[in-house]
A = this chain, B = another copy of it.
């Protein structure tokens, strides 16, 4: 293991590996080679070995990787051993659909509170949490103790303010689902997902796939 910086690209593949490994374990596969795992996630074995090598030496030469151990190692590396508390700002249809989304909980992310500015949404219950007034963010966060992630799912015009409130309340990181370029202070990790943007990218590849001919590379 070369203990230097782990590439961003590697980090963003770990969730894929983790997912595949959990599936393998569910299928009672105990040991997996980089080759097999590569097939599971749709990449190549060198990529996998290199990615792992940045973090440690998890495998056994001539054998492969013990699925269970690998899950543990990756989880540890990503900081997933302790479960995480998440709150949501923006309880519209999209936002509140996340409150009952089991996928988060299964992976150790618990949505513990939700906020909106709209009186009609405040008080509504979904996925076990009651929507509160945004003004209560700070107090609620204080009561919860530690909130790891704030998910923003407001209308575009309200997203930046939502981010600021989250930061002010001491929420540790932000997942922005609104198509807006958010500013967050240094030290507050921020990631954005833009579904419309994804559609636009697909649109591009559509154009090329249908026009041109010959071997295609799948968009990443």
Which residues of A does B touch, CB under 8 Å? 8, 11-12, 14-16, 18-20, 40-42, 77-80, 84, 86, 92-94, 96-98, 100-101, 103-104, 106-107, 109, 148-149, 156, 172-175, 177, 179-181, 183, 186-191, 193-207, 209-210, 216, 218-220
Contacts and interface: CB of A to CB of B under 8 A. Distances in A.
A199 B86 CA distance: 9
Contacts of A207: 78-79
Nearest to A182: B42
A180 B92 CA distance: 26
A106 B36 CA distance: 43
B93 A97 contact: yes
A203 B93 contact: no
Contact of A104 (B175, B199, B205): B199
B197 A19 contact: yes
B202 A149 contact: yes
A35 to B, nearest CB: 16
A164 to B, nearest CB: 16
Between A94, A200, A205, the greatest number of chain B beta carbons within 10 A of the residue's beta carbon is seen for A200
B11 A196 contact: no
Contact of A78 (B180, B204, B209): B204
A173 to B, nearest CB: 5
Contacts of A200: 14-15, 18, 78, 80, 107
Contacts of A173: 202, 205-206, 209
Nearest to A101: B94
A181 B41 contact: yes
Nearest to A80: B203
B195 A175 contact: yes
Between A11, A40, A86, A148, the greatest number of chain B beta carbons within 10 A of the residue's beta carbon is seen for A11
25 contacts: A14-B201, A19-B197, A79-B203, A79-B204, A80-B203, A92-B97, A93-B97, A93-B100, A97-B97, A103-B156, A103-B179, A103-B196, A104-B196, A107-B196, A149-B199, A149-B206, A172-B209, A173-B205, A173-B206, A175-B195, A175-B202, A189-B209, A189-B218, A191-B201, A193-B198
